[in-house]
Structure 1
Amino acid sequence: MMSEPFILDCDVYALSLERASGLVPPEFLPAYQRFIDYEGCQIPRLPRGEEEMARGLDVKLASQRGIHSPNYDSLPSLGAGKRKYALSIHSEGQAYYDDKDVVTRPDGTWILDYKAHRPADGKKPTDQSTSHLMNNLDDGVPVGVMIRNKSGYAVLGLAFVEQYNTETDSFTIHGPVNAQTEADRKFYLIRDSDLTQEERQELDRLKAQITAERDDRIRRFVTSVVRQRQDSFRKALLEAYNGTCPVTHADVNEALQAAHIDRYRGSNSQVVSNGILLRADIHSLYDANLLSIEPETHILRLSHRLDSSAYRAFANEQLKMPTGKAAPDDELLEMQYKRFLAAQKSMAS
């Protein structure tokens, strides 16, 4: 079994632009609005200076490196004593970004797996941009997103950094952050409407306490609620799969975990059609995009990185899945499978 987690999640329960605005230098706020205003637009080049998209701002929107973390010393506020964050990310290099790498989720939002920046072999690390992007993940701070295409760059808008995959060395970026998705609370770990009356009263009580430890107490409370939902989710999957992993046929309850097909935020993710009962190590490999289940056929596909491992015995096997309401959602399987294919391309590059 694998003890080290592959996935690091942002544990801020309520990701919102309003919350993030109090954590960043003041120059970031009009820059965020500029990314929102340009969401869905095509620009000929990166907005690094006098381009129309960057005009009138006190901070550069992008730099040549893919992860742009502004020099706080160049800001009028000198960073206002805030932690260092990335302001934007963009695809770089000569290869054009594959549109399939931007995966649209069933709720209309999108996800993008973005490779961390590392020094070439033998080179000393001088670029701190990846660690700054990790700060975005830790604190729930958004970034602007631009991807290269044949006409220049497509501005995807503003997005949150929700996960980091230690195996693929990539971040999961989830957007767009705009007035509609904020109103719909798309980036909440759990919504007030998902809580019982008693849970909602406790959350309101914690929110009303103005203390330095308030946010941590809210985080612990929400984590406990999510854990309870996760326990119910696992019990439902154990019943749906007759207590057996469809890949390994392991049937020891203690070795089995409830895997999410789509690891999106929110209690609505805890439904049987968004889950698969997997042995713990298979679950880790699934989350790390080292194996995936082909939609409709339910054939197990493995990353080439597992070719010389014992897991190759499971490759190309057709899995027996529940039917009816307990069956895995093929639309969600397709979305995860696209991420798997994109990850294989990224690992090969």
Structure 2
Amino acid sequence: MDGIASSVPLIAQPSYDRACSLVPSEYVLAWEWFLREEQRGEIWEKLPHNIKADSPQYPYRMTIGSETFCVSRQSGIYWPGRGRIKHPVEKTFALSVHSSISGSYSDVPPLYLEDGTWVFKYSLQSASVESWRNQRYNEKMINCMECGVPVGVFFATSAGYKVLGLAFVERYEPENNWFVLHGPVHKGGPDARFFPDMSYMKEAPVAAEFSGAPASDDEKVRYALRRERIGQQRFRNQLFEAYTGRCAVSGCNVGEALEAVHIENYSGPKSQVVSNGILLRRDLHALFDAHLISFELVRGDYQLCGSYLLQHTDYAAFAGSALREPDEHRLRPNARFLEAHRAEFDFSESRRRAEAVAPY
């Protein structure tokens, strides 16, 4: 698929019920297992496929009939091979993913949102290998993203593995090689939490697009993108007003050089709100999105922290700069989103160091 970096969900209204028609029956049974374990809320001392018969958790493993059915494997991205079950000819989908508390993939904790959902950014397999999209593991995740098929999610903690439940693969973020998982997904039809909130359109007059004639797929796509652009302009205007037309770090007041920055770029409702944004100079925006700068709380104020990659550049002078926040409290950046971005910055920094990326 071209345009993999797009943050626009490929399935406008994904749903559990719709996905059931696209996968083998064993996947549906496995999804029901994930839903039960999400509700049970217990920590697995090991991934289910490693649980032995003498473990108290053994009765909670997934079975089909009298046979154990694996919902996990050692590989972070797992799908049962064609020797185990019969997959559709066209697509094979990932069944589950798990994070790790050791190894080359650092963990970024899930971000819990006000609408009751969570976002978990999960590393693609072997990010340093060229042609990653052609790798079998990542291909299965791409198939889930393209078709709106959920995956089961295990999150590693110091005590063991927590079953977060099911999540949609909402998008891929190329700056840090993350698949963005958005959950929890439950049984039923489309859930409004998993597609963009267009309620702001009630405030913006929009000309009729299709003149009463049936719309083609291309027309629908153009219309959706136009609505997104309108929402982005509204978001930018609100940030300009909240930050009085000045960059929140540099103080730059040249409008053409300033951009509206999403702290958390998830695609669900309420992403286009001032508390999920910062007004930054264009170059600082690029560094923020690439997790080369972030903000940390120091004695009650947020201060800029920069990657070691920037230590010999002009940007090193911004280290420790205070984030200038709006006077009105409700317009200030969401603290949870800033903390999540900082965790992602730390994740990226540790990976850059592990790969021995040289400073600029």
Q: What's 1:284 paired with?
A: 286
- Contact map agreement 1:97 1:147 (CA 8 A) in 2: no
Q: How does 1:184-263 map to 2 (within 5 A)?
A: 185-190=192-197, 195-196=201-202, 214=217, 217-263=219-265
The offset of 1:266, in angstroms, is 3.6
- Contact map agreement 2:176 2:290 (CA 8 A) in 1: yes
- Contact map agreement 2:150 2:166 (CA 8 A) in 1: yes
Distance 1:64 1:99 in 2: 16
- Contact map agreement 1:10 1:137 (CA 8 A) in 2: no
TM-score, normalised to structure 2, is 0.77
Deviations 1:294-314 (A, max 9, x none): 344121111223333332221
Distance 1:102 1:218 in 2: 33
Inter-CA distance 314–54: structure 2 relative to 1 (3 Å threshold)? same
The offset of 1:27, in angstroms, is 3.1
The offset of 1:326, in angstroms, is 3.3
Aligned length: 333
Match of 2:61, SS state, is helix
1:62 corresponds to 2:62: no
- Contact map agreement 2:246 2:252 (CA 8 A) in 1: yes
Distance 1:254 1:228 in 2: 18
Q: Percent identity?
A: 33
TM-score, normalised to structure 1, is 0.79
Distance 1:250 1:140 in 2: 42
Q: What's 2:306 paired with?
A: 302
Inter-CA distance 133–305: structure 2 relative to 1 (3 Å threshold)? farther
Match of 1:9, SS state, is coil
Structure 2 unpaired stretches of 5+? 52-57, 355-360
Q: What's 2:54 paired with?
A: none
The offset of 1:15, in angstroms, is 3.1
Match of 1:74, SS state, is coil
Distance 1:176 1:231 in 2: 30
2:121 to 108, 113, 120: 113
Distance 2:107 2:225 in 1: 35
Moved more, 289-298 or 18-27: 18-27
Deviations 1:208-238 (A, max 9, x none): x7x9x65x65444333222211111111212
Moved more, 111-120 or 279-288: 111-120
Distance 2:160 2:277 in 1: 39
Letter in 2 for 1:54: M
Deviations 1:245-294 (A, max 9, x none): 22233333333221112223245222222211122332222223221123
Distance 1:126 1:170 in 2: 16
- Contact map agreement 1:290 1:303 (CA 8 A) in 2: yes
Letter in 2 for 1:315: A
Inter-CA distance 70–347: structure 2 relative to 1 (3 Å threshold)? farther
- Contact map agreement 2:148 2:169 (CA 8 A) in 1: yes
Q: What's 1:90 paired with?
A: 98
Q: How does 1:123-202 map to 2 (within 5 A)?
A: 127-179=135-187, 185-190=192-197, 195-196=201-202
Q: What's 1:11 paired with?
A: 9
Task: Please report the RMSD computed on the Cα atoms of aligned residues, expressed in angstroms.
Answer: 3.8
The offset of 1:145, in angstroms, is 0.8
The offset of 1:6, in angstroms, is 11
Moved more, 7-16 or 276-285: 7-16
Structure 1 unpaired stretches of 5+? none
Match of 1:340, SS state, is helix
Match of 1:269, SS state, is coil
- Contact map agreement 2:100 2:106 (CA 8 A) in 1: no
The offset of 1:195, in angstroms, is 4.9
Moved more, 267-276 or 48-57: 48-57
The offset of 1:129, in angstroms, is 0.2
2:274 to 272, 277, 285: 272
- Contact map agreement 1:159 1:173 (CA 8 A) in 2: yes
Q: What's 2:317 paired with?
A: 313
Inter-CA distance 16–255: structure 2 relative to 1 (3 Å threshold)? farther
Q: What's 2:332 paired with?
A: 327
The offset of 1:8, in angstroms, is 4.1
